[in-house]
Amino acid sequence: MFKKILYPTDFSECAEKALEYIKRLKEAGAREVVLLHVIDDSKVRFLLKGIAWAGGSEYEEKYKQKLKEEVECRIKKIAEELSSSDFIVKTEIREGNPYEQIVKTAEEEGVSLIVMGTHGRGRGASLLLGSVAENVIRHSSKPVFVIRG
């Protein structure tokens, strides 16, 4: 039924809960996981503005490189964990708007299900789901399984 799963992670506790559900989907026939982390451009720009304001504009490239190295390390650990559960794992690190990149990756990879955690800290419908999860549900043509943290 759900052979290929997209697992977008922000490395939060909510995302860790979603990982446990993915492992259980192995019994239901899941074989492959696309592990995705999106580096949120708006958050990076915000942090870099603070660095520039403090007179550290020369640290911009160093910051971006350190961030990417940290993400690669964390993604590798999760990939190893999924591989040890006999999943075929593909990793992706993208930059941009998180929900847009999640929806785009789901389409490009032809996944049968998106499994993601949510914080639920926004306003309105976002309060229940979280703004990224809400937007993924609204814009994705793929089924979305949301685990609330």
- Asked if pLDDT for residue 127 goes beyond 50, the answer is no
Of residues 101 and 56, more confidently modeled: 101
C-alpha closest to that of 101 among 131, 56, 148, 140: 140
Question: What proportion of the chain, given as a percentage, has pLDDT over 70?
Answer: 84
Whole-number pLDDT of residue 120: 60
Sorted by where each starts, the structural domains of the chain and their CATH numbers stand as 8-19+28-120 (3.40.50.620)
- SS3 for 139? helix
- SS3 for 3? coil
> For 42-49, what is the mean pLDDT?
73
Q: Which own/partner contact pairs does 134-138 have at CB distance under 8 Å and 24+ positions apart?
A: 135/99, 136/8, 136/99, 136/102, 136/103
CB atoms closer than 10 angstroms to residue 55 = 8
- Asked if pLDDT for residue 61 goes beyond 90, the answer is no
- Asked if pLDDT for residue 126 goes beyond 50, the answer is no
Unique residue bearing structure tokens 């993604």: 75
Which tokens go with 41? 């451009």
Of residues 45 and 146, more confidently modeled: 146
> For 20-40, what is the mean pLDDT?
95
- Which pTM value belongs to this model? 0.87
* Contact residues for 101 (Cβ-Cβ < 8 A; gap 6+): 36, 38, 94, 95
